[in-house]
Amino acid sequence: MLKKQKYNVAIAGATGAVGAEFIALLENRRFPVGELKLLASQKSVGKKLTFSGQEVAVCELTADSFKGIDIALFSAGADRSRQFAPCAVKAGAVVIDNSSAFRMDPHVPLVVPEINPDAAYKHEGIIANPNCTTIIMGVVVWPIHQINRVKHIVVSTYQAVSGAGAKALAELNTQQRDLVEGRKPKPQVFKHVIANNIFSHDSKVMDNGYNQEELKMIHETHKIFQDDGITISPTCVRVPIARAHSESIYMELARVVNLNDIHQVLSRATGVKVVDEPDNNLFPMPLDCSGRDAVLVGRIRRDPSVANAVSLFCCGDQLLKGAALNAVQIAELLI
């Protein structure tokens, strides 16, 4: 654990969608920042971003960027994390990395503070932030797992374009405008048109038929829960939503489901808000959770044919709990 009054913080990937959330969260959560260093590629050098009412100039991300830095928040892609995170550690910083670069490294803890906070203290300089879909599923499934072990999960995700970054968000806006104005949308960031469309997640499909995003949900959940015995079958889909992922989750549990117990444990769970009003047809929606810290959960119901199975629906802000917020919460654990 770090013990100081102020902490020098670097953000690698400061001009990206997650980088912007890092800056806002550090300010809004009153993280005790001493010096804030904003890092990005050479093309962004000199650009000024605002933090706590002051303009901070963006510097180029290099191997020498981390002198005097205590905590380095990375969201610059896996390649740059592999290249520059070791440099930050060598300079004395603790790296909290939002990419996939180190998640499955056995020497790197993979942390969701609501699930395995103690793992953060076992770092060797780098702590990995899980994939957005894994985090959103995990904070809802974990409380249930504590009272009735989860044996099998079938999960379908409906993933916002924010997961592909700022350029993808701009592409959705452009394509929606093209459709309204009678022009044919042209995909550039994605392989397919995203406006008015859905398609299988845009990650490589592996030999077993699952894409990389789906495999992340399997392997990362096993590591975070420390339970490889949970079988998980994901289907990940991209949808034309700007922000916030949704997930439909079916779980088979060790014992017969008691819905009242599940409602109660989710109502008490940190980082979770139950939105489950059948009479009003009010359940979690991406619009309602965009910009919110909590993962919303509802549609909680027993499977009519399997006594030990429960289904639910959840939504979480991909840029917040699915990325930047989780990383800042890890930093808060360290201090």
pLDDT tens for the chain, 335 residues: list them. Answer: 677 899 999 999 999 999 999 999 999 999 999 999 999 999 999 899 999 999 999 999 999 999 999 999 999 999 999 999 999 999 999 999 999 999 999 999 999 999 999 999 999 999 999 999 999 999 999 999 999 999 999 999 999 998 888 899 999 999 999 999 999 999 999 999 999 999 999 899 999 999 999 999 999 999 999 999 999 999 999 999 999 999 999 999 999 999 999 999 999 999 999 999 999 999 999 999 999 999 999 999 999 999 999 999 999 999 999 999 999 999 999 99
Model pLDDT, residue 4: 84
CA distance 28 to 237: 32
Measured N-to-C along each axis, helices 132-147 and 212-225 cross at an angle, to the nearest 10 degrees, of 40
CA distance 296 to 292: 9
Tokens representing 21?
Answer: 């959330």
Model pLDDT, residue 1: 62
132 contacts 157 by C-beta, under 8 angstroms: no
Query: φ and ψ at 195, to 5 degrees?
Result: -65, 130
CA distance 244 to 162: 8
CA distance 289 to 320: 10
Of 132, 236, 289, 315, the catalytic one is 132
Domain with CATH 3.30.360.10 in the chain: 134-318
Q: Which CATH number is associated with domain 134-318?
A: 3.30.360.10
Contacts of 323 by beta carbon, 8 Å cutoff, 6+ apart:
18, 21, 75, 98, 129, 132
Three-state DSSP class for 215? helix
Strands 48-51, 33-40: pairing is: unpaired
Contacts of 160 by beta carbon, 8 Å cutoff, 6+ apart:
239, 241, 242, 243, 244, 245, 286, 318
Specify the residue for token string 């394509």: 175
> ∠ at Cα 4 (51, 73), nearest 5°?
45
| CATH superfamily of this structure's domain 7-130+323-334 | NAD(P)-binding Rossmann-like Domain (3.40.50.720)
> ∠ at Cα 139 (205, 329), nearest 5°?
100
User: For 118, left (φ over 0), alpha (ψ -120 to 50), or beta?
Assistant: alpha
Of 123, 145, 201, 245, the catalytic one is 245
Is 245 labeled as catalytic in the residue annotation?
A: yes
Contacts of 149 by beta carbon, 8 Å cutoff, 6+ apart:
253, 254
Domain with CATH 3.40.50.720 in the chain: 7-130+323-334
Maximum Cα–Cα distance across the chain: 61
Side by side, the strands of the sheet bearing 48-51 are 48-51, 54-60, 33-40, 7-12, 71-74, 94-97, 126-128
Q: How far is CA 152 from CA 222, 268, 309, in A?
A: 12, 23, 9
Model pLDDT, residue 61: 97
Model pLDDT, residue 280: 97
Is 289 labeled as catalytic in the residue annotation?
A: no
- pTM summary value: 0.95
> ∠ at Cα 73 (170, 28), nearest 5°?
75
